[in-house]
Amino acid sequence: MKNLIKENIIFIIPYLSILLISSACVLFFNKTDIHIFINSHHKLFFDFFFKYWTWLGDGIFATVFTVVLLFIKYRWALTSAVSLIITSLTIQILKHTVYSGSLRPVLFFKENYKGNYQLHIIAGAEPAHFFSFPSGHTAAAFAIFFLSAVIVKNNFLKLIFLIIALLVGFSRIYLSWHFLGDTLAGSITGFIITAISYLLIIRYKNNYLDKSLLKN
């Protein structure tokens, strides 16, 4: 655990700082006000950018990422598969049991918000209505890119991977698929499950796991 933290401090400290600040916003401000603030600052470039960037947290990208790791090291591919499967199951269980009544922004605003604000919705990225909490795309993004940060040794790349994950989380809010709190919960889920998966699998001594499809 100590080595994991020490070697990835450039990812962990900024992430925890942003998580703390964002959590304070969720605690002290109304979620509709937060969402309106973010949604109202839309630009044509960001509409296009986030419409596609958000797919870095999609299941298809997660599958491709895991397959690519098979060519690098089986151990990394196994860690990715385990963390992503457990993360996905955790998110879906929470969505459909404890938080089954959580509405996504579009329907929430329609049913609960009495103001006159009209959400900015991007054509081709129209959000769903139900199962908002927690954010699955954000969870997957943090699972993928925290593992990527663990794998590489370069601190600059570790920081880049954090930024990528954060932007996926932000894209979910920008596109009105989720509220800020949904993405925070998703990021925590993906981050913690990936850390635990890594710590368990790295302890398993097996020479075969340190091979790859390119090095058999």
So what's the pLDDT on residue 106?
A: 92
Q: Taken in order 13, 63, 197, 212, is the CA torsion positive or negative?
A: negative
The mean pLDDT value for 171-186 works out to 97
pTM: 0.95
pLDDT tens profile 126-153: 998 999 999 999 999 999 999 999 999 9
Domains of the chain: 2-210 (1.20.144)
Shortest CA distance to 15 belongs to which of 145, 133, 134, 197?
Answer: 145
Backbone angles phi, psi at 158, to 5 degrees: -60, -45
Q: 112 pLDDT exceeds 90?
A: no
- Can you tell me the distance from the alpha carbon of 78 to that of 194, in angstroms, rounded to the nearest whole number? 11
Q: Is residue 73 helix, strand or coil?
A: coil
Q: List the single range of 130-139, 166-175, 203-212 with lowest mean pLDDT.
A: 203-212
Average pLDDT score over residue span 65-73: 96
Q: Is the pLDDT of residue 205 over 90?
A: no
Sheet strands (E) in the chain: none
**Contact of 150 with 8, CB cutoff 8 Å:** yes
Q: What is the reported pLDDT for 116? A: 77
Hey, what are 172's tokens? Answer: 């979910």
